[in-house]
Amino acid sequence: MVGLGAGFGWAVTGRLLIGLYFGVVEGPARAFVGEVTCRTVRGAVGNVLNTVTPVTVVLVLGLGSRLPWRTVEFSLVTASAVLQACGLLFLPQSPKWLLAHGHPSEEAERSVRFYLGDGADVKQEVKNIEESLSRSGHAASLLTRLSHVFRRWENLHPTLLLLLQFFCLVFSGAIGVVQFGPAIFRSTGGDINPYHSSMYISAAMALSMLISGSLLERCNRRVLLQVSGLLGMVGCTAMGAFFLLGQYPWLVLAGALATTLSYGAGIAPITFTYLVELLPNSVRSMAISIVLLYFSVVQFLAVHFFPAMVSGLGNYGTFWLFAAVNLLQVALATFWLPETRGLSLEEIQRRFFSAAPPPAGAVDAAEKAERSPPPVEEAESTAL
């Protein structure tokens, strides 16, 4: 409709349908990626969904300056949608979905083997999923599953952590810098070119997203969040200092770059990785939808009221408020968020969000017992 439409109404309708499409599929897509990927690459693979957006924006801007916009629409948007639809025909459902909807365990085992390879402990993976589903009543009605999110602490606890984490994501300052970059740089009144600076910010966002997947799998996630929060705090403080003192305009560009890098390389990818990892199997799809709806509303409000914040608090007050939120991010990573790197989704639930978690030593002993073969005498007596 956008590419072939004859007028503005067609373009707006097409964009509304595209927005509806993203709203419907983003939550299930993130849940699906988390459920079918190996724990060692889950963060990197899930981060592809975050990386595609800034990279595509830069690509569209580059092609749009040389090609007609209808050509860009068909070559990127329409072609990618057709490619996605064809690719889904060859992918089996996730093992969690199959078990939750009454399919036999053998079918779930084939799905685990398809996604994790022959080297995976297929039967143990299926057993872990069955146990997590049996504690929740996944097949309950929509309203019942919605009540499970808010009435059971093991579900409400990670959901509240994610709501607070997404608040820190939105008010870390990077979204305001990206959305209002030209106006911010123009208000410095110095030699900084507002449009060139905005292009630097977009390029920094795309670059940081590209390297974030590697950082996710090599670094402790809580430490990466702490470093990102500190970097964002320094960047926002530097921008606020210029707008208060009126000296050294380069502080605005340097602070904006630091804030954008902290967002793209740490805060954003870890937040969306946590979105999949922290929520239990029983309510994952429902809770992801709730959190993403909250994220969309808060992001809309943050962008909509950014000019009002600048008018009421001033430029320096607005960016110092963002610096305070980055400090909250450091505290959240230090005291409340768990370290999930290298753990399966079921292990994360058992260790951090069970209704009555066992001692850490007991959990480690149980996991070792699950992964080690039985003694020879025990195996022989069992066979007899």
CA atoms within 13 A on the CB side of 334: 11
pLDDT of amino acid 383: 40
**365 Cα distance to chain centroid:** 32
Question: Distance between CA atoms of 112 and 130, rounded to whole angstroms?
Answer: 13
| Contact status, residue 72 vs residue 64, Cβ threshold 8 Å | yes
pLDDT of amino acid 376: 44
Provide the 8-state DSSP code for 337. P
Question: Distance between CA atoms of 278 and 343, rounded to whole angstroms?
Answer: 11
| Contact status, residue 299 vs residue 263, Cβ threshold 8 Å | no
Indicate the length of the chain as a whole number. 384
pLDDT of amino acid 85: 81
Question: Distance between CA atoms of 149 and 167, rounded to whole angstroms?
Answer: 19
Which of 93, 95, 96 is CA-nearest to residue 138?
Answer: 96
Question: Distance between CA atoms of 363 and 208, rounded to whole angstroms?
Answer: 36
pLDDT of amino acid 357: 45
Which of 247, 250, 249, 235 is CA-nearest to residue 177?
Answer: 235
List the chain pLDDT tens, one digit each, 384 residues: 666 666 777 777 877 877 777 767 777 777 777 778 877 777 677 667 766 766 676 676 667 667 776 777 777 777 777 887 888 888 888 888 788 778 888 888 888 888 888 777 888 888 877 777 765 555 456 677 777 788 888 889 999 999 999 999 999 999 888 888 888 888 887 677 777 777 788 778 878 877 887 888 788 999 999 999 999 999 999 999 999 988 888 898 899 999 999 998 999 989 988 988 898 877 887 888 899 889 989 999 998 899 899 999 999 999 999 999 999 999 999 999 999 988 888 888 888 887 654 444 444 444 444 444 444 444 444 343
pLDDT of amino acid 362: 41
pLDDT of amino acid 104: 86
pLDDT of amino acid 319: 95
Instruction: Kindly list the structural domains of the chain, giving each domain's residue range(s) and its CATH number in brackets, ordered by start.
Output: 149-335 (1.20.1250.20)
Q: Is the C-alpha dihedral spanning 174, 180, 182, 184 positive or negative?
A: negative
How many Cβ atoms are within 10 Å of 103's Cβ, its own excluded? 14
Neighbour-count burial of 245, counting CB atoms closer than 10 A to its CB (0-12 exposed, 13-18 middle, 19+ buried): exposed
Question: Distance between CA atoms of 123 and 26, rounded to whole angstroms?
Answer: 30
pLDDT of amino acid 62: 67
Q: Distances from the Cα of 74 to the Cαs of 1, 60, 68, 265, in angstroms?
A: 11, 12, 10, 31
